[in-house]
Structure 1
Amino acid sequence: MRLARFPTVRGRLLALLVAIALPIAGLTAVAALTTYHTVIAAIELAQSRTADDFAVRTRVWHRGSQRVLLASGSLIAQGGMAGENCAAAIRATLLRIHGYQAARFILADGRTCFASVDPALGEAEVAAVAADQATLPLSPSRTKIPLPPSRFDQVKIGGVERLVTQVRMDSDAALREALLLADPDLLDQVFELGDAGEGVNVALVSRGESVIMHRPEPATDDLSWLPEADSFPTENRRWEARSRSGQMRSYAARLVTAPDLYVVASFGNAPERAARMQFLALLIAPILTLILLCLVYLRAIDRHCIHWLRGIESAARARSTEPQVRAVIAPEMPSDIRSVAEAFNTMVDEQEVRQRRLQTALDDNRFLVRELHHRVKNSLQVVQSYIGLTKRDYRDEARLALADAETRVHVLSAAYRFTLADGEMQPVRVDLFVEDVVTMITNLVRTRDQWVTSRLDTDATLSVDRVIPLGFLLVDVASRVLRSTPGVSLTIIVQDVDDTTLEVALEADRDIAPSAPPKMFAGLVAQIEAVQVDQPEGRRLGSWRIRHVA
């Protein structure tokens, strides 16, 4: 990131903070999402293993009952027992094993041995159950130890549920077939949940989705925890579905005997909710922390950096109106910013010292310049008076030449008088200056039959360096005309053309033959920075336009 793109200190620090915070926020989001998926996968695996665990427990119980049948049938076949002796031996075995209700064995020679400890289980009823089970598929075998084909199921005899274990042997075996009926309560220990967790239901379900065994034990007709679908997707082992009570729950199923007997486990969504809350906590808490850190960081920038920098800036800007203002220096300022403020105040102090020195030198210089101009003005007045006194001793051309010289000296004297009117050098008002020059021409140059007047309509001002050549120009033109034309009347016209231009013109009361101006005339025009508009012709003696500052 190029921090130079951001013009302010605050912008650069904020951009740097964002550049650090965004990757952290991204890594936090990835970590929270990964943790969430890991926890969800662990929950799903645990739920699937729960169904597997209860399915294995059920199979272990069935394998035990299968081994009891095989062991008992083998002893009967080898002992040659038959009739009442065989039935008595089987009954004694059933009485010793609580929950076993009836057993039926068919030997290879066709002998049948049957016994029951439940009066409701007669030999005919048990034979019918054996014939019916023989027509159904055998239960899958998931053990590496070879066992004879068998079937595990649940039947209802006399309105009571019974567990069925049937074993069918090869035709050359001493035992051909064996069948055991047991009480479903024998599966109590198999379906003992222990600390499986709240909201967990496990059941052994048979054809028609009737519940054989369930933990925790529900009411007899309470099947609201089962999914709405009539069949379970046992191949997926776990799925989400709506229960018969209308709630969304997680399910896992494991087949015990295809297609009749399987284990179904139902789970509440509390673990998923907890995982989502954990995900939100892992995601939002760091992001909120980063946001809070950004806000605190911005507050710290404003309070400990921007605030003091703006104080220095305000002091610098206020210098134009409040020369005595200084940057604030406080003990709580950061040392580097305080150093800048102290350097600023030192610079201001040094600047004020230099300004005072410069002002003193400027005042001295102004005083010297003013005194110099006063001396020049006084000297010019002395020269003018000396010329005036000398003029009395001469007649004719000499007197006219001295009068002309006296008029030019008066132009210089008048210009310095007007520019130093208030004790300071300042621009000269053109109308006042021209009126004074006209008065002097009238008094010194004209004869009794000649007249010189002015028509002034301007408020323009010119510097003393430009107004002096203007006076010389007027004196030169007027003097040449008055000398060459007896009885003539001249009018000097000064008027504004616009806000930045004035026009100076001379007119006579008769046509005047133009005369060549002296060589210095062009220099006067250039010094005034004037542009000649009209050449001398007829009564018009010439006009010039001069630009000035409005």
Structure 2
Amino acid sequence: MRLARFKTVRGRLLALLVAIALPIACLTALAALTTYRTVIAAIEVSQARAADGFAVRTRVWYRGALRSLLATGTVIASTSGGDADCAVSGRALLQQVQGYRAFHVLTNAGRACAVSLDPGLTVADLVAASARLKSLPPVKVWGGAELAQIRYDYVTLAERRYLAIYTRNPDPATVLQEALLLVDPQLLDQVFDLGEAGEGMKVALISSGGTVVTSRNSTKSDEDAWLPREEVVPPGQIRWEAPSRTGGMRTYAAQLVAEPDLYVIASFDEAPARAARVQFLVLLFAPLLTLLLLCIVYLRAIDRHCVVWLRGIEATARARSTHPNARAVIAEDMPADIRSVAEAFNTMVDEQEVRQRRLQTALDDNRFLVRELHHRVKNSLQVVQSYIGLTKRDYRDEARLALADAECRVHVLSAAYRFTLADGEMQPVRVDLFIEDVVAMIDNLIRRRDQWVSSRLETEATLSVDRIIPLGFLVVDVASRMLRTTPGVSLTIIVRDVDASTIAITLEADREIAPSEPPKIFAGLVAQIEAVQVEPAEGRRLGSWHVRHNV
């Protein structure tokens, strides 16, 4: 990063902080996202394994019940006693194993034995249940040796639901041909024990068609309300999200137990996912907020310990134009390097003031000398003008006119210095006041009795003394040549504004005047004024010049 692109100290320090904090923020966000995805994947795997675990436990329970049925049925079928002995042995067996409610055994000799602990169950009910289960296809073997042809299902007899384990042996030489065991579904509660991890989870053993055989964490009122709206018989192990029968979205995991009818389905609420999202937000925003807080603290530290002192020095430097005695503040809590800059600034200001005082003293002395010099020049010019005026009395005709012309020109010099030093300082001279004074002197010194000289001044422009003097000479030269050669003429000197930076100087007579060739010095006067002649001497007009005054 090129910090030179940033023009301020604060900008460069902030850019450096962003250059450090931005990669950290990106890595933090990446770590939080990775953690979130890992947790979500772990939750999904855990949910799928939960359904698989319940299915395995259900299979183990069924396999154990099957082994009990085969062992008991074989013993009963091998006993040569009558129906009374069968009933006694069978009843003792059912009473010994809690949850076993009835069984029906058929031997290869055609002898049947049926025992039930529930009064509502009759032998005919057991025979009918065996016949129905016999007509259904057996389940596939889960693994290991095939004990017999098996059917796991449920039956509803005498308005009660029972888990049914049915087995038959197609070999006619086998003593036990058929056996049916009916079990109370509550016996599976220990298989579906959810433990502490069961909060927010519902588990059920489902038969095809969506019939709940047994369930946990559900009440009678909502026994099947949490099941998916559309039944999905799992081909194996699956996990999906779907709307429940009540309309809310839930997560489901299912595992087939006994193909094709029985499967275990588990439903999970959003608590683990919400916790994962909260954890993700905490992992994401806690470091980001920490970085933001660090940036804010860093910026405040920059402002308090750096920028504020620099701005104070800057404000002092700018305030010196109106407050010459301003100094940079030096405080105890200033950083050492900025304190050194402030002290160096104050030292520089002190030295500058010393130099300024010396320069001001020298300037005042020079101004005094210049004023004195110009006063001497003005006084000398007045002496010369007075001497010429006294000498003029001793001459007549051309000599007197020549001395009057010279006296008028000396007056131009004297008037220019008088106006420029009117307030004790050299300053520009107002053109209208100067021309009015020159016109009055021409009227007094050069004009004859039958001639008239007037002015029309419509400007407030100013010119420096170096340009106003040749302007006066130009007016005197033109007026003198015309008045000396044209008896009875009236002359008007017009000065007006052309625009904001230009004035026009025009000399007019009351009659047409034959133009005369100006002296060689006239071109020098025009160049010194920086004037441009816009109209030549022709007819009544003796010439017109434009002079720029804001230069």
Residue 501 (structure 1) aligns with: 503
Paired residues of 1:514 and 1:537 also in contact (CA < 8 A): yes
Q: Output aligned runs, 1:38-117, within 5 Å.
A: 38-71=38-71, 81=80, 83=82, 87=86, 90-91=89-90, 94=93, 97-99=96-98, 100=100, 106=106, 110=109, 112=111, 114=113, 116=115
Paired residues of 1:76 and 1:86 also in contact (CA < 8 A): no
Amino acid at match of 1:270: A
Paired residues of 1:505 and 1:542 also in contact (CA < 8 A): yes
Tell me the TM-score normalised to structure 1 length: 0.81
Per mean C-alpha deviation after superposition, the further-off stretch among 159-168 and 117-126 is 117-126
Residue 311 (structure 1) aligns with: 312
Q: CA RMSD in A?
A: 4.0
Residue 352 (structure 1) aligns with: 353
**Cα-to-partner distance string for 1:365-387 (whole Å, 9 max, x where unaligned):** 11111111122223333434444
Amino acid at match of 1:502: A
Residue 199 (structure 1) aligns with: 200
Structure 1 SS opposite 2:326: coil
Per mean C-alpha deviation after superposition, the further-off stretch among 122-131 and 409-418 is 122-131
Structure 2 SS opposite 1:196: helix
Question: 1-side partners of 2:218 and 2:548: how far apart?
Answer: 115
Question: 2-side partners of 1:158 and 1:400: how far apart?
Answer: 159
CA drift at 1:518: 2.8
Amino acid at match of 2:379: N
CA drift at 1:18: 5.0
Paired residues of 2:206 and 2:263 also in contact (CA < 8 A): yes
Paired residues of 1:55 and 1:263 also in contact (CA < 8 A): yes
CA drift at 1:364: 1.5
Structure 1 SS opposite 2:330: coil
Paired residues of 2:102 and 2:182 also in contact (CA < 8 A): yes
Q: Output aligned runs, 1:359-438, within 5 Å.
A: 359-388=360-389, 401-438=402-439
Q: Output aligned runs, 1:251-330, within 5 Å.
A: 251-330=252-331
Structure 2 SS opposite 1:57: helix
**Cα-to-partner distance string for 1:375-420 (whole Å, 9 max, x where unaligned):** 2223333434444555566666555554544443343333323322
Question: 1-side partners of 2:348 and 2:404: how far apart?
Answer: 61
The percent identity for this pair of structures is 62
Per mean C-alpha deviation after superposition, the further-off stretch among 333-342 and 350-359 is 333-342
**Cα-to-partner distance string for 1:433-487 (whole Å, 9 max, x where unaligned):** 445445555555566x5545333424444332223323333444454455556x5
**Cα-to-partner distance string for 1:150-198 (whole Å, 9 max, x where unaligned):** 2223334445544433333352753452414243254343233332322
Structure 2 SS opposite 1:237: strand
Structure 1 SS opposite 2:46: helix
Paired residues of 1:452 and 1:489 also in contact (CA < 8 A): yes
Amino acid at match of 2:137: P
Question: 1-side partners of 2:535 and 2:166: how far apart?
Answer: 143
Structure 2 SS opposite 1:67: helix
Residue 144 (structure 2) aligns with: 144
Structure 1 SS opposite 2:198: coil
Q: Output aligned runs, 1:154-169, within 5 Å.
A: 154-169=154-169
Residue ranges of structure 2 left out of the alignment (5+ in a row) = none
Paired residues of 1:225 and 1:266 also in contact (CA < 8 A): no
Amino acid at match of 1:46: S
Paired residues of 1:493 and 1:504 also in contact (CA < 8 A): yes
Question: 1-side partners of 2:544 and 2:408: how far apart?
Answer: 21
Paired residues of 1:162 and 1:181 also in contact (CA < 8 A): no
Question: 2-side partners of 1:308 and 1:243: how far apart?
Answer: 67
Distance change (3 Å), C-alpha of 1:529 and 1:190? closer
Amino acid at match of 2:320: R
Residue 465 (structure 2) aligns with: 464
Residue 238 (structure 1) aligns with: 239
Residue ranges of structure 1 left out of the alignment (5+ in a row) = none
Paired residues of 1:103 and 1:178 also in contact (CA < 8 A): no
Paired residues of 1:139 and 1:257 also in contact (CA < 8 A): yes
Question: 1-side partners of 2:58 and 2:511: how far apart?
Answer: 146
- Count matched residues: 544
Question: 1-side partners of 2:14 and 2:151: how far apart?
Answer: 74
Question: 2-side partners of 1:193 and 1:524: how far apart?
Answer: 118
Per mean C-alpha deviation after superposition, the further-off stretch among 533-542 and 34-43 is 533-542
Structure 1 SS opposite 2:196: coil
CA drift at 1:279: 3.2
CA drift at 1:263: 2.6
**Cα-to-partner distance string for 1:511-546 (whole Å, 9 max, x where unaligned):** 665543332222223223334455555665545444
Paired residues of 2:103 and 2:182 also in contact (CA < 8 A): no
CA drift at 1:137: 1.5
Tell me the TM-score normalised to structure 2 length: 0.81
CA drift at 1:501: 0.9
